[in-house]
Amino acid sequence: MLGEMLENVRSKSPLVHNITNYVTVNDCANIVLACGASPIMADDPDEAGEITTICDALNINIGTLNSRTIPSMLLAGKKAVTLGHPVVLDPVGAGASSLRTKTALTLLEEVKPDVVRCNMSELKTLATGSATTKGVDADIADRVTTETLDSAVAFVKEFAAKTQTVVAVTGAIDIVTDGTAAYCIKNGNPMMSSITGTGCQLSAMTAAYIAANKDDMLKAAAAAVCAMGVCGEIAFEKLSAADGNSTYRNYIIDAVYRLDGETLERWAKYEIR
C-alpha cells in the first residue's frame, strides 16, 4: 500500500515549489527529481505566488529564512491553500531563535499546512512556544526511544488533532500521524544524522508524495518517511570502510532514484498505533 504512494509520484510527476534554505537546496532538488517529481525553487515575493500557481505542491522550509523570503513563504503558502495545493512546512530550527519560532507559528496558523515535517524539539517549540534545542538538531532529551514511544505518540497525536495537520516527526523512531492513527516507523540508520539536510530532503520529497496522493495524505507522508529510511539503509549497506558522510549523501539520493514500490513494501518497518 505504501508502494502505491511511491508509484503515484513516478506516474504523476508533480511539480513541487520549494521555498527553502540555501544550505541543502541542491540536495532537495535532486531528491525531488530522484523520486520522480520535478522541483522549482523561487523565493522572491514578486514571483512566489505566481510560481506556486503553476505547481502541484508547496514545500516551505524556514532554514536560513530572511526578511525577503518570509513574506514569500506566507504569500505562496496562502496562495497554495487557496488553490487546493498540498503544503508541507518544515520549521527548521524553531526554538533556536525567536524569529524562527515566530515565523513557524505564523505559518502554522495563517497557512495551515497539510503536513508538518520536523524533529521532536521543533515540534515541542511549536506546541509550547518554547523548548530546548541544539541548533537545527533535536535535543538529546527529546529522543524518541522504545521506552518513551507511548508518550511521544500521544504528544504528537494531540498536536496533529489540535492543528488538523498530518505531523511527521523524525528521529530514531519516526512518528507520522493525523491525530487518529499513528505510523511508528523504524527504518533508517543513525549515520543519516551525520549528513546535513536529510530532514530537508525528506520534507521536499513529502511534498511530492502528498501532491501525488492528495486523497490520503497520512499514508503518503508515511510512505515518504519510510522511503527515506529505507534508502538510508540501502545506502548504508553500499558504503565501504573508507566512505564517509559525503558519499553516504550521494548513495541515499541514488537509492531514492532506484527505489520502486515493491522494494519499499518489502523493507518498510512500521506499526500503526
Taking contact as CB under 8 A, which single stretch among the options 95-103, 165-173, 180-188, 260-268 is the one that binds its own copies?
Answer: 95-103
DSSP 149-182: HHHHHHHHHHHHHHHTSEEEE-SSSEEEESSS-E
The reply to whether 266 sits near its own copies by the rule CB under 8 A is no
Cα separation of 22 and 174, whole Å?
Answer: 26
The reply to whether 15 sits near its own copies by the rule CB under 8 A is yes
Among 12, 112, 134, 214, binds its own copies (CB under 8 A): 134
Among 64, 106, 163, 263, binds its own copies (CB under 8 A): 64
Other Cβ atoms less than 10 A from the Cβ of 2: the count is 21
User: Among 86, 18, 77, which residue's Cα sits nearest to residue 49?
Assistant: 77
The reply to whether 264 sits near its own copies by the rule CB under 8 A is no
User: Among 176, 185, 136, which residue's Cα sits nearest to residue 157?
Assistant: 176
Cα separation of 18 and 51, whole Å?
Answer: 10
Supply the minimum distance, in Å, between the C-beta of residue 186 and its own copies: 23
Taking contact as CB under 8 A, which single stretch among the options 128-136, 154-162, 204-212, 213-221 is the one that binds its own copies?
Answer: 128-136
Nearer to its own copies, 54 or 147 (CB): 54
Nearer to its own copies, 78 or 238 (CB): 238
User: Among 91, 104, 56, which residue's Cα sits nearest to residue 199?
Assistant: 91
Q: Which residues contact 43 (CB under 8 A, 6 or more apart)?
A: 19, 20, 68, 69, 72
Taking contact as CB under 8 A, which single stretch among the options 44-52, 82-90, 115-123, 150-158 is the one that binds its own copies?
Answer: 44-52
Supply the minimum distance, in Å, between the C-beta of residue 225 and its own copies: 19
Cell numbers for 10: 513516478
Total number of residues that touch its own copies (CB under 8 A) = 64
User: Of 223-252, which residues contact its own copies (CB under 8 A)?
Assistant: 238, 242-247, 249-252
Burial zone of 238 (CB within 10 Å; 0-12 exposed, 13-18 middle, 19+ buried): middle
Among 82, 83, 130, 135, binds its own copies (CB under 8 A): 135
Computed from CA positions of residues 262, 114, 225, 243, in that sequence, does the dihedral angle turn out positive or negative? positive
The reply to whether 30 sits near its own copies by the rule CB under 8 A is yes
The reply to whether 258 sits near its own copies by the rule CB under 8 A is yes
Taking contact as CB under 8 A, which single stretch among the options 108-116, 130-138, 142-150, 261-269 is the one that binds its own copies?
Answer: 130-138
User: Of 161-190, which residues contact its own copies (CB under 8 A)?
Assistant: none
Cα separation of 3 and 220, whole Å?
Answer: 10
Radius of gyration of the chain (CA): 17
The reply to whether 77 sits near its own copies by the rule CB under 8 A is no
Among 6, 176, 202, 253, binds its own copies (CB under 8 A): 253
Site residues (vs its own copies, CB under 8 A): 15, 21-27, 29-30, 33-34, 38-47, 50-51, 54-55, 63-68, 93, 96-100, 133-137, 194-197, 238, 242-247, 249-258
